[in-house]
RNA sequence: GCCUCUGUGGCGGAAUUGGUAGACGCGCUCGACUCAAAAUCGAGUUUCUUCGGAAGUGCCGGUUCGACUCCGGCCAGAGGCACCA
């Protein structure tokens, strides 16, 4: 019998074809239905879909299918974040063209996604490496330039002196270039920036209105934007100059024992001119990576310039250091060092023998308490002249007021957020549409010259930017003077590409980036789903870009994503070997983990087992879903992704559960086969219980799916399945079986379609279950009429009692006191207190 | 180092948000069916126990009649830290 087993290898493809032929998931912008835009973060086409993608897109898919069943016109599109470094790496390693490599990957991954049966509107697909896409991006960039939101300035990059190329942070390993192994240097380059700081206040304020964003994401963004108020003031220096510094803790000014400037601060530069030791120290600071993590964990080093700074209150001379932990990008690039109340300053002062003074203490009496580490707690000012006895807050205000009235400083707001550097010295990205002319300077490319496309004939045999050394590409004429000029050879950060792709999904006009009317119909995105790793950068950039477009009058809203859901990552341990100081990673599929350790299947030799971390291409700890679909079918894979783990939490990958999911698919299939509309009830009481279970499940699954609590919805479906299996044939049972088909259809759409058809619904209603309505529930059936209450003595459970729902307090108390186990414990003593929570418990306190 | 999370049986996790800890699933054990296997079905499965109970949600302490849930302090792991996407 063919229908005793569900055969995904037949059914999956069959229904995928049926949906495609019926145009089931085609989003019609002229539909009278209410609209819903469900979007998952589009993937980088790395080559293969991995489990993180499957998890992400399955969640979105369930929601999209559910919304459709609830009567929405759903836009659920897919595309490709197709520019980026891995394509260039592949070009260098395998000699393939980044474009060809990317296109091939897209084709493979699209085929993989199609096998999983996602309810996507493929007619809206595009890749960011399409000239039709990035040409419009160039136009938008020029629009922002005209609005004054784009500028150039010098900024630091990682420079590999052997390969003569700029390295991404990821390519710097232990301060060395990943290919050359050369010690990386910091180098300044003139680069393009977007003025995200113009929107800092607005981006911060906007978080308040994002009710359906996770608090943790809003908090992370808030901290990232980092609004702080403090004092900007100037030290008079012994060389007659003045040095502006910024501090968020002016209340600790009496504890200042040194002043420190960044290595690239003008003062440091001029010190280097007169002093070769200073120059050497600055050179030393240039070594190592540029990341905040590296700077902050590196040993605190300084160089005493010999210059003195005059303390504005005490007149004491403070030594001025050049220090490797001061950032030129934040504040004024110079700080006052207060070792008593800042841990970095404390470490620095300890190392260089500088005074450490307590100026904040829990109470005035504790002024003399020694410090073994920086005290960053609250308290009152001590050892601080006129500030003594003031609270931290009062002292801040008092210092600011004195500085302002005496004219040597002022209270200011400083942001941690820096402008967005978008220049990349790489080939595989959107060319920045500017032209460098010796006579006219930097000139925007005329809009009618867009798209400025990438040349195809590039080579990756030598490191560095192929655009820069291409024989002809950069040569052009100046749009202003007509003279010979050169194109900008930097390309845009790929975060620019992902900052507006969601607008392009609304429609794809040829002559403009997006159609305003279509955007108005679909946007903002109703539900955006993606990895928590994008909590700050991508989401902040997209919010900024949307605001910037609103600012220049191209959009009518500021926030692109109404609701955000950040899923946890699919994680796996890593397998690696180190040879010649380089680490090679291996795929889980290449590794035999059956013994105690792990060995490579190829040579039987052990590999090192690394930590359980997010699946990523660079660490090769990815699992390919194709094998799982081959073995168990798309529905089992989808079900597995939704089961068990709460979606916001990380999911450590294991193969163990998938088999059970495959069994459940068959179990449901057998149950669905028992659908019998003619079945008659024999036991009305029993029927009512099953009917109640069905209606409770309908309500609960809807609620769970809307909250994206898929693991809970899955558990409900299991429970109803078990109840239906155990029930005798009856009308209620058939109703439950039909209900289960509908409830499980967003999660296991192929199985549901097959069962729907077999049960005759497709013929009767003339449609697909994907186009059916979500079942209604009867609110009257949700309420139970009996509840089990806990009987506790001193908070410990002693027994339970079944009572009618809504039994009043007095009666509950009487039942509990009369309970034999309670009587045994009380043994005649009378309780001190009895706490009654109706429908829940009675607690007897002795 | 900084910011944000997470921590519950052998495993993934549930717990109506302060009210019966371990729902549901995986795995395992035993049983039924079978010549046998697979599949399927049934029972059991936190730990200890003198079988009365006792302990138990990363660790230490606190609030409460009652704490996985709230508060304080630690520990461990993950994500992000501006050129991975």
Say how far apart CA A158 and CA A160 lie, in whole Å. 7
Q: In Å, what is the separation between the CA of A594 and the C1' of B58?
A: 29
Report d(CA A463, CA A751) in Å as an integer.
51
3-state helix, strand, coil in chain A (%, to 5): 40, 20, 35
The nucleotide whose C1' lies nearest the CA of A168 is B83
> Residue A650, CA: closest nucleotide via C1'?
B78
Which nucleotide is closest, CA of A45 to its C1'? B85
- Nearest protein residue to B85's C1' (by CA)? A44
Q: Which residues of chain A have pLDDT under 70?
A: 1-3, 580-581, 594-596, 682-686, 764-766
- The C1' atom of B81 and the CA atom of A653 lie apart, in whole Å, by 26
Residue A296 CA from chain centroid, whole number: 23
Which strand (E) or helix (H) includes residue A741?
helix A731-744
Q: How distant is C1' of B35 from CA of A787, in Å? A: 51
With a CB cutoff of 8 Å and minimum separation 6, the contacts of A554 are A143, A516
pLDDT of residue A346: 86
3-state class of A392 per DSSP? helix
With vertex at residue A650, the alpha carbon angle to CA A648 and CA A652, rounded to the nearest 5 degrees, is 145
pLDDT the model gives residue A1: 36
Closest CA to A638 of A40, A61, A46, A120: A61
Q: Which residue is nearest to nucleotide B11 (CA to C1')?
A: A656
Q: Å from A372 (CA) to B17 (C1')?
A: 42
CA of A790 to C1' of B52 (A): 21
The nt closest to A569 (CA vs C1′) is: B79
| Nearest residue to A723 via CA among A681, A693, A685 | A693
Residue indicated by tokens 């680490």: A583
Contact between residue A834 and residue A845 where contact means Cβ atoms under 8 Å apart: yes
Chain B nucleotides near the protein (CB, 7 A): 1-6, 11-16, 19-21, 23-27, 39-42, 54-55, 65-67, 77-85
Residue A2 pLDDT: 41
Q: How far apart are CA A151 and CA A586, in angstroms?
A: 43
Taking CB atoms within 8 Å and a gap of at least 24, the contacts of A757-766 are A758/A3, A758/A672, A758/A673, A759/A672, A759/A675, A760/A677
Give the Cα separation of A781 and A800 in Å (integer). 25
The pLDDT score that the predictor gives to residue A594 is 66
Residue-level length of chain A:
846
Neighbours of A390 (CB within 10 A): 18
A91-106 per-position pLDDT tens digit: 998 899 999 999 999 9
At which residue do the structure tokens 């910024």 appear? Answer: A246
Contact call for residues A62 and A705 (beta carbons, < 8 A): yes
Predicted pLDDT at A766: 64
CA A628 – C1' B36 distance (Å)? Answer: 30
The burial of A818, by beta-carbon neighbours within 10 Å (0-12 exposed, 13-18 middle, 19 or more buried), is given as exposed
* Alpha carbon distance A610, A698 (integer Å): 43
A28-34: long-range contacts (C-beta < 8 A, 24 or more apart)?
A: A28/A73, A29/A506, A29/A507, A29/A518, A29/A521, A29/A522, A31/A73, A33/A71, A33/A72, A33/A73, A34/A71, A34/A72, A34/A73
Nucleotide whose C1' lies closest to the alpha carbon of residue A419: B82
Q: How far is the CA of A533 from the C1' of B58 (A)?
A: 25
CA distance A774 to A603: 54
Q: Three-state DSSP class for A464?
A: coil
Rounded to whole angstroms, the Cα distance separating A44 from A51 reads: 14
* B69 C1' to A701 CA distance, Å: 24
Query: Which nucleotide's C1' sits nearest to the alpha carbon of A725?
Result: B41
Q: Which two tokens stand for residue A430?
A: 């959107």
SS3 category, A507 = coil
Q: What is the pLDDT of residue A591?
A: 84
| Cis peptide upstream of residue A524 (ω within 30 degrees of 0) | yes
Q: How far apart are CA A627 and CA A624, in angstroms?
A: 7
């Amino acid at each position: 019998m063919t229908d005793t087993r569900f055969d995904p290898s037949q059914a999956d493809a069959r229904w995928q074809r049926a949906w495609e032929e019926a145009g089931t998931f085609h989003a019609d912008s002229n539909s009278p239905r209410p609209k819903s835009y469900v979007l998952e973060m589009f993937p980088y086409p790395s080559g293969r879909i991995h489990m993180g993608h499957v998890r992400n897109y399955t969640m979105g898919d369930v929601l999209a299918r559910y919304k459709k069943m609830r009567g929405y016109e759903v836009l659920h599109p897919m595309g490709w974040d197709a520019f980026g470094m891995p394509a260039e790496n592949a070009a260098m390693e395998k000699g393939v063209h980044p474009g060809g490599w990317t296109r091939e990957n897209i084709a493979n991954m699209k085929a993989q996604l199609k096998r999983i049966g996602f309810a996507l509107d493929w007619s809206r697909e595009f890749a960011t490496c399409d000239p039709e896409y990035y040409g419009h991006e160039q136009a938008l960039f020029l629009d922002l330039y005209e609005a004054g939101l784009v500028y150039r300035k010098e900024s630091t990059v990682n420079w590999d002196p052997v390969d003569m190329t700029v390295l991404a942070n990821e390519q710097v390993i232990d301060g060395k270039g990943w290919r050359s192994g050369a010690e990386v240097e910091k180098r300044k380059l003139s680069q393009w920036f977007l003025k995200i700081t113009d929107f800092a206040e607005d981006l911060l304020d906007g978080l308040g209105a994002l009710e359906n964003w996770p608090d943790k994401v809003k908090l992370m963004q808030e901290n990232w934007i980092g609004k702080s108020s403090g004092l900007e003031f100037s030290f008079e220096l012994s060389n007659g100059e003045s040095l502006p510094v910024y501090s968020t803790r002016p209340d600790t000014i009496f504890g200042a024992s040194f002043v420190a400037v960044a290595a690239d601060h003008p003062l440091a530069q001029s010190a280097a001119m007169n002093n070769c030791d200073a120059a050497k120290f600055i050179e030393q600071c240039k070594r190592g990576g540029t990341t905040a993590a590296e700077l902050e964990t590196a040993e605190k080093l300084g160089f005493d310039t010999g210059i003195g700074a005059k303390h504005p209150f005490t007149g004491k001379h403070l030594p001025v250091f050049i220090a490797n932990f001061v950032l030129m990008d934040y504040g004024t690039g110079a700080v006052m060092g207060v070792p008593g109340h800042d841990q970095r300053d404390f470490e620095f002062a300890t190392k260089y023998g500088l005074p450490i003074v307590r100026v904040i203490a829990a109470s005035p009496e504790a002024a003399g308490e020694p410090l073994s580490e920086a005290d960053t707690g609250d308290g009152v000012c001590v050892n601080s002249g006129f500030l003594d006895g003031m609270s931290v807050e009062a002292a801040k205000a008092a210092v600011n007021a004195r500085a302002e009235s005496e004219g040597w400083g002022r209270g200011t707001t400083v942001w941690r957020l820096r402008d967005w550097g978008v220049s990349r010295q790489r080939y595989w990205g959107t060319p920045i549409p500017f032209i460098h002319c010796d006579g006219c300077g930097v000139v925007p490319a005329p809009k009618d010259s867009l798209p400025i496309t990438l040349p195809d004939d590039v080579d990756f045999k030598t490191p560095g930017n192929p655009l820069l050394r291409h024989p002809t590409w950069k040569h052009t004429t100046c749009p202003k003077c007509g003279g010979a000029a050169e194109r900008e050879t930097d390309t845009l950060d790929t975060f620019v590409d992902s900052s507006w792709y969601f607008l392009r999904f609304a429609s794809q006009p040829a002559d403009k980036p997006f159609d305003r009317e279509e955007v108005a119909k679909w946007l903002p995105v109703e539900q955006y789903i993606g990895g928590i790793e994008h909590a700050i950068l991508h989401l902040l950039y997209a919010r900024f870009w949307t605001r910037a477009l609103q600012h220049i009058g191209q959009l009518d809203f500021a926030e692109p994503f109404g609701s955000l859901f950040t899923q946890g990552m699919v994680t796996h341990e890593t397998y690696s070997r180190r040879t010649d100081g380089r680490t090679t990673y291996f795929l889980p599929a290449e590794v035999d983990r059956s013994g105690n350790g792990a060995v490579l299947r190829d040579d039987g030799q052990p590999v090192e087992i690394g930590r359980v971390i997010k699946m990523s291409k660079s660490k090769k700890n990815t699992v390919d879903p194709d094998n799982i679909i081959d073995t168990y079918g798309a529905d089992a894979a989808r079900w597995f992704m939704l089961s068990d783990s709460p979606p916001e939490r990380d999911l450590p990958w294991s193969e163990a559960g998938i088999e059970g999911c495959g069994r459940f698919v068959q179990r449901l299939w057998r149950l669905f086969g028992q659908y019998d509309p003619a079945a008659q009830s024999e036991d009305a009481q029993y029927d009512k219980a099953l009917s109640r279970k069905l209606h409770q499940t309908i309500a609960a699954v809807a609620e769970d799916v809307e909250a994206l609590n898929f693991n809970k919805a899955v558990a409900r479906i299991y429970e109803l399945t078990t109840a239906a299996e155990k029930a005798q044939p009856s009308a209620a049972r058939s109703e439950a079986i039909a209900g289960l088909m509908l409830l499980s259809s967003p999660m296991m759409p192929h199985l549901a379609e097959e069962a729907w058809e077999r049960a005759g619904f497709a013929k009767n209603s003339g449609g697909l279950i994907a186009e059916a309505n979500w079942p209604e529930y009867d609110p009257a059936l949700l309420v139970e009429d009996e509840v089990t209450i806990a009987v506790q003595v001193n908070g410990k459970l002693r027994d339970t009692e079944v009572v009618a729902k809504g039994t009043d307090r007095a009666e509950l108390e009487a039942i509990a006191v009369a309970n034999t186990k309670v009587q045994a414990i009380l043994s005649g003593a009378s309780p001190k207190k009895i706490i009654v929570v109706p429908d829940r418990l009675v607690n007897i306190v002795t």
